[in-house]
Structure 1
Amino acid sequence: MNSDELVQKVMERLLKQFEKESLNKYLVVGEELLDYGNAKITNDTNDYSSVTGVIANGFAWESLFRLRNLVTISEEEKLVLKGLLDNKSIIIIQPEKQPANKLIQVKVEETLRELKKIGVILLHAVELKDHLNTINQSKERESMTKSTSTKKKLITVDVLRNEYSLDQLTEFKQESNMIITALAKDYLRDNNIRMV
């Protein structure tokens, strides 16, 4: 294996690792759920800055009424509101039990509509796994499309010697998909070949 192949393999591994790390990671507040699908999950509020979203479970209707009005009293509610303000994905698992009072049911429907308007995703617990898997699958597809459409070519001294007729060149055109090593740039400069 020559140096070009080694550098290329190292770059490919780094890109793959970066793509894996770029999958969505969620902070779970409130009650734990059993299944999050293939999503990355943390319960540590110190990880807040590294998450793409917040999943809130176990909130009572009173919490949703407060969040609708951007008012909080618990730490969990504060994290959800902070997530909204920071433009993170907010998923709230709806309470299972509906209020018995018909007038309150109307307020519940209004609250759900208002929360959706400000970007909250409202789900039932059984829908969460499929929702998270769908998001991660589409993100994986998107990253695969990006990586295939913007594949970079590494230009090293060996590549210059083997793939280009340098004795006939006075200019070397650097294309947008090229990464040129410092040694390759020095090599071009030493051979009086201008980079454009």
Structure 2
Amino acid sequence: MRQSIFFLAVLPYVLGLFEKKCIVDPIENRWPDMGKICHDPLEYNHIAIEQAILDDQEIQMYLEDASKIYQPAVPYDDPYICPLDIGNPSGPQIVECGSICPNSYTNLTTVWYEYELGRTTVCNVIRPWQQIVYYMQCGTKYPLVDGMDNSFQCVPEDIIRRKIAVYCPNIVPQCRKMDIDLPQHCAASKFQCRQKKISQQSRLDNLFASFGW
């Protein structure tokens, strides 16, 4: 009798342990696809996209939370004023500043998506005003500073990865979920070609060749 009572007492805890093993990560944490920033325009078919959202409950749930999860890194109102930490005990100093790389803070509306190996399509970012998908677009390849040669190039940096929902009009299913890398700044970096390393045997061969051997 005591054994039966003990079994009934511990049964809820045992079941609780098994239930915990069944808990899995949210579906959006397992999104396998990867998109790329696209600068090509694509008509936003509002009616078709809204209908696709109504037919996809998972997309609806994600869109409801997207604006709460992600907040854009909005730049300063005055692009020529920024804080500079120079080790002053009083803290960062507000100084005049400017980027030598032309750039623009851009709302992402289209992405490239490789749905099959070697086959890509352009997709709309679903409700970009709600998902708040922003990135820094570099304006030119070279910095606008006198004296800098072509070895200096403007490149995107400070990459963040986030999840987005997209609508692909040319493939089925049309609603997709994917990750995308978004640069937040543009910086001038110096690039130089590096000579290939020559093996010791090659050096010996070159030495012997110089003596006509």
Please state which band the TM-score falls in when normalised by the shorter chain.
under 0.3
Higher RCO (Cα < 8 Å, 6 or more apart):
2
TM, length-normalised to structure 2 = 0.23
TM, length-normalised to structure 1 = 0.25
Q: Which has the larger radius of gyration?
A: 2
